[in-house]
Structure 1
């Protein structure tokens, strides 16, 4: 499917345009989306040429605003207030999109029952350069082709049968870039502690991680297969692997990291429903 949005039809409203929603928007604009078809409700968003921006929903509504696609990108805790004000504007011709952590399709359907479809999207920050991962699930009469065409410029798209695993996906791919950045930072810091300059350590760490993931993606091999191609018995690589693999500590650590992020997503869902 083409990644251009030059022929994408419909007006888009972004309610909240922080780091993630802003990254998506910037990629859409780079892919040819008409700025005149976009409006933003966010008093703190970076202004973008040709895009109408409002400090509050009331201003957008008073200006006669209407949209075919409405994407929620504010804090999940604000869902109740936003739904009260926005609900009457979401008719049966509107796709209601959400990137809100922890807010389920059932929650969205309860808040916006008249929408043509409720679509839950879990993107990640690499969408900014078209190398992101977006998981998507929907309720209602979603135009799947149009939804996919909107997400394709952001990178890889995975359609889920439902959103029952979305809290885990939020942790796994949505939060994942931050975990990877932290691993790279730690790798560089270790190199610096052992004698590299800070600049050299970071540059080498970025190149090592980037080259390794590119090789893995290109090879079609399992990670373990490539590990055996780098490591030799009794060699330097194996000495390091022995530390990483001791007692299954690395897998245990990453499991705990993902569990904490997943569980926080569930807590945010409770807060959004007024139960937290």
Structure 2
């Protein structure tokens, strides 16, 4: 299966909320056109309704090349059974639903179903996402196509085992929300020091965005970058003494809570 096969047979999005829309927006920027895509969503956004050529809540192809499952895990039992007829080995199921194991798909769709489980994140909307993938034996041959599709919205990594997915979910899947909250907190702290709210937010957003870009592209590890910008007895050192007293443990507990919830959702 290749990209031409995907275009010929169709891509189905089961659910198109924030994550599904973020990914679809990236794909439509280059890899696909609206008429290649079928979307099943009970409450489609105005943006979806405005995409000329998109098959929105229409009858599905008999054997689409791929079904992207982007519904909430709690809705899985209701959403998948209607697609059981597609669990015949011809259609690949690519799941981005947090906490939903490959075994769940095999139980609902049949053991012959090729399943690829993926965990993207919301920066996919601006082409800066990162997606981790793992597949069952029947889905493994389609991993290159899944990677090519997902690389339209950012980087991809393959996991050694599905057991790693809960940690990935907690770090990169949920991680953007942690960073957004850091921006909020940094801006609020700037306001507390007398800055105008708009200025404080602009400084916080640019600082976090710029530092992230530098960390991603520098040959130095983040620890060395931190040392490089920290002058002895300077302002950065004074701030870091406060931050580093609590942040490492706080982040460990944050990621652990998210990973534990991912594991709970599999039950």
Matched ranges for 1:79-94 at <5 A: 79-94=76-91
Aligned partners of 1:121 and 1:134 also within 8 Å: yes
85-94 or 20-29, larger mean C-alpha shift: 85-94
Structure 2 gaps of 5+ residues are none
Matched ranges for 1:262-273 at <5 A: 262-270=259-267
Deviation sequence 1:17-51 (CA, Å, 0-9, x none): 00001110111111130221210111212222211
| 1:215 is the counterpart of 2:214 | yes
Query: Whole-Å Cα distance in 1 between the matches of residues 56 and 212 of structure 2?
Result: 39
Q: Quick one: structure 1 residues 214 and 6, their matched pair in 2 at CA, closer, same or farther if it must change by over 3 Å?
A: farther
Query: Whole-Å Cα distance in 1 between the matches of residues 37 and 117 of structure 2?
Result: 20
Query: Whole-Å Cα distance in 2 between the matches of residues 131 and 110 of structure 1?
Result: 34
- If the length of structure 1 is used for normalisation, what is the TM-score? 0.88
Matched ranges for 1:68-147 at <5 A: 68-142=65-139, 143-147=142-146
Q: What secondary structure sits across from 1:102 in the alignment?
A: coil
1:255 match: 252
Cα deviation for residue 147 of structure 1 reads 1.4
Q: Quick one: structure 1 residues 8 and 65, their matched pair in 2 at CA, closer, same or farther if it must change by over 3 Å?
A: closer
2:55 match: 52
| CA-based RMSD | 1.7
Query: Whole-Å Cα distance in 2 between the matches of residues 14 and 90 of structure 1?
Result: 15
Aligned partners of 1:130 and 1:153 also within 8 Å: yes
1:33 match: 32
Structure 1 gaps of 5+ residues are 271-276
Aligned partners of 1:95 and 1:115 also within 8 Å: no
Query: Whole-Å Cα distance in 2 between the matches of residues 78 and 215 of structure 1?
Result: 39
Would you identify which runs of 4 or more consecutive aligned residues in structure 1 move more than 3 Å?
5-10
Aligned partners of 1:117 and 1:140 also within 8 Å: yes
- If the length of structure 2 is used for normalisation, what is the TM-score? 0.91
**Number of aligned pairs?**
258
2:197 match: 198
